[in-house]
Amino acid sequence: MHKPRVAFLPIARTTFDITFAQEKSNLARQQLSQMPVTLEGQAELITDLQSAQRIAESIADNPPDMLLIFQATFADSTMISALGERIDAPRLLWAVPEEHTGGRLRLNSFCGINLAAHALTRAGHQYETIFAPPDDPLALDKVLALALAGRARNALRNARLGRVGENPDGFETCLLDPDLIHQVFGLQVVQFDLSKDIFPLARQVETSRIDDIQAHLGGKVTGLDELEPAATRGTLSVYAALQQIAVQGEINGFAVRCWPEFFVEMGCAACGAMSMMSDEMIPCSCEADVNGTITQMMLQSISGKPAFGTDIVSVDDERDAIVVWHCGLAPLSMADPQEMPGVTIHSNRRLPLLFEFTLKPGPVTVARLSESSGEYRLVIGRGKIIPGPKSFSGTSGLLQFKSPAKEVLDMILTAGLEHHISITYGDYADVLITFAKLLNIPVLQLTNQGGSIENFSHNLTDQTIPNPEGEQS
């Protein structure tokens, strides 16, 4: 996954202290270059409208994840307007304070972004602002949050999501409005038929291919050889088929009708296949939950890590924690490292292949893009997975918030939210709030707990996640 692309464009007016302004700009670039972003744009100050227009044209066809306009000195609104209106990217206006010496106003930077902010507002354009020194840690956190949110927005804009089959009857939580989805996110939903597109392809997977997948998987889990062989290989063939469709159809995620057809027609469960796909950063949700998959794609793009779509099923009163569970489709990378994941059969259908483990402890972000009555809202929660015994067969974990568990559940029910939530490891709640602003989506926070943006530096390097063949995805 690429680092967020940040276009740094410093502007100034030559009638101010241009040397001092360049020093401030250089310091800002130096700080940004140490962050987990790809820094683009230019180092030299932009001092005239013609230059600003030329630069805007050069960037417009390949817009960055974020446009950072550094207001090194006062300038009228024309340059920022030229940059901000032509380049389709989240805008951040950064002004810097200066010492009150009793002498010359060397920069007058704040007045410059004040002027520009009004101009952008009159034109109907969104923006964020910073008024802080170039090395201010909170300012740099805000830059990163907007850059990550911008990366997520761009990822969804350019995404294709495969809907495999229809949602089960009575699962209104998995209904979708393709036109609304495209309008809000820019994302395209591609429909696939189980009997025509998926099952025939899975049945055609070569034996040697299934052998390779099984051999690689056997080194990651226990008990694989103890399951019914034909059904196990059926799940692995489904995985291979989804992989092929993802590559050939340029599909970035799947929402899969996982029952009853996989059990009846293929004689296997789809859960294990979806788990392996999610670990390869092609997230999958069950029950054809398209909005659930979009949520996972959003979280994955922001965090750089897999996301897991799950049910809330119970409360652990002793630990004041919510029990999250699904049949066995959590990414294997989320397993507690203290125990090797196992494999199992579906609790109800009695067929493999599913994974069985408890989720590893650590801070998590909870999210759901919730849709009803033709409108979206973004549900956000900060929590942590805590150590504890396995709650049920399949994949489960104990999710604890600062607020009492039953209060959180009451909020979910009172708000009429869907029965699927998604989680990823790390605290990205502030980034999600920024993302919601970009898309003009209201936010519902499950808890009122505060927190700052996580230090992402160790998470956002060019990550590689091994696929079942051991190659780099």
Assess if residue 467 is contained within a domain: no
> Which residues, including other chains, have CB under 8 Å from residue 48's CB and lie 6 or more apart?
79
Distance between CA 347 and CA 370 in Å, rounded? Answer: 28
Whether the Cβ atoms of residue 205 and residue 177 lie closer than 8 Å to each other: no
Whether the Cβ atoms of residue 379 and residue 173 lie closer than 8 Å to each other: no
**Res 469: pLDDT:** 37
**3-class SS of residue 231:** helix
Asked if residue 69 and residue 37 are part of one domain, the reply reads: yes
In the chain, helix, strand, coil percent, each to 5?
Answer: 40, 25, 40
Asked if residue 167 and residue 36 are part of one domain, the reply reads: no
User: Which of 110, 129, 156 is at the close of a domain?
Assistant: 156
Asked if residue 29 and residue 171 are part of one domain, the reply reads: no
**Res 259: pLDDT:** 77
Asked if residue 385 and residue 272 are part of one domain, the reply reads: yes
Asked if residue 120 and residue 192 are part of one domain, the reply reads: no
Assess if residue 470 is contained within a domain: no
**Res 346: pLDDT:** 85
Look up residue 207 and give its two tokens: 């034996």
Q: Write out the E strands in 21-139.
A: 38-41, 66-71, 91-95, 128-131
**Res 458: pLDDT:** 34
DSSP state of 341: -
Look up residue 446 and give its two tokens: 């499950």
Assess if residue 463 is contained within a domain: no
**Res 448: pLDDT:** 63
Distance between CA 228 and CA 460 in Å, rounded? Answer: 40
The sheet carrying 38-41 orders its strands as 38-41, 5-11, 66-71, 91-95, 128-131
Asked if residue 284 and residue 245 are part of one domain, the reply reads: yes
User: Which of 136, 156, 176 is at the close of a domain?
Assistant: 156
Secondary structure (DSSP) of 153-207: HHHHHT-EEEEES-PPTT-GGG---HHHHHHHH--EEEEE-IIIIIHHHHHTS-H
Asked if residue 308 and residue 173 are part of one domain, the reply reads: yes
Burial of 166 (0-12, 13-18, 19+ CB in 10 A): middle
CB atoms within 10 A of CB 101: 8
Assess if residue 460 is contained within a domain: no
Distance between CA 377 and CA 1 in Å, rounded? Answer: 26
Compute mean pLDDT per 10 residues along the chain, 473 residues long, and list them: 95 97 98 97 97 96 97 96 94 97 95 96 95 97 98 96 86 84 97 96 97 96 95 97 97 92 92 96 94 97 97 96 93 94 87 95 97 93 94 92 94 94 97 97 81 37 35 32
**Res 471: pLDDT:** 35
Assess if residue 473 is contained within a domain: no
User: Which of 156, 179, 205 is at the close of a domain?
Assistant: 156
Asked if residue 206 and residue 60 are part of one domain, the reply reads: no
Distance between CA 416 and CA 422 in Å, rounded? Answer: 16
Whether the Cβ atoms of residue 361 and residue 334 lie closer than 8 Å to each other: no
Whether the Cβ atoms of residue 40 and residue 54 lie closer than 8 Å to each other: no
From residue 51, give the alpha-carbon distance in Å to each of 9, 79, 328: 11, 9, 56
Q: Which domain holds residue 66?
A: 5-156
Assess if residue 29 is contained within a domain: yes
Look up residue 254 and give its two tokens: 């799947």
Distance between CA 45 and CA 31 in Å, rounded? Answer: 17
Residue whose pair of structure tokens reads 């992402």 in the numeric block: 456
Assess if residue 471 is contained within a domain: no
Looking up residue 282, the CATH number of its domain turns out to be 3.20.14
Asked if residue 393 and residue 325 are part of one domain, the reply reads: yes
Burial of 352 (0-12, 13-18, 19+ CB in 10 A): buried
Distance between CA 324 and CA 129 in Å, rounded? Answer: 38
Burial of 219 (0-12, 13-18, 19+ CB in 10 A): exposed
Looking up residue 96, the CATH number of its domain turns out to be 3.40.50.10940
Give pLDDT tens digits for 119-178: 999 999 999 999 999 999 999 999 999 999 999 999 999 899 999 998 877 777 777 899
Asked if residue 179 and residue 75 are part of one domain, the reply reads: no
Task: Give the orientation angle of helix 78-86 with respect to helix 49-60, to 10 degrees.
Answer: 10
CA 233 to chain centre: 31
Secondary structure (DSSP) of 392-408: SSSEEEEEE-SS-HHHH
Asked if residue 193 and residue 92 are part of one domain, the reply reads: no
Distance between CA 64 and CA 129 in Å, rounded? Answer: 18
Distance between CA 165 and CA 257 in Å, rounded? Answer: 5
CB atoms within 10 A of CB 397: 29
Q: Which of 302, 293, 304 is nearest to 333 (CA)?
A: 304
Whether the Cβ atoms of residue 456 and residue 142 lie closer than 8 Å to each other: no
Question: What pTM was estimated for this model as a whole?
Answer: 0.92
Assess if residue 459 is contained within a domain: no
Cis bond upstream, residue 260 (ω within 30): yes
Asked if residue 183 and residue 94 are part of one domain, the reply reads: no
> What's the total number of domains in the chain?
2
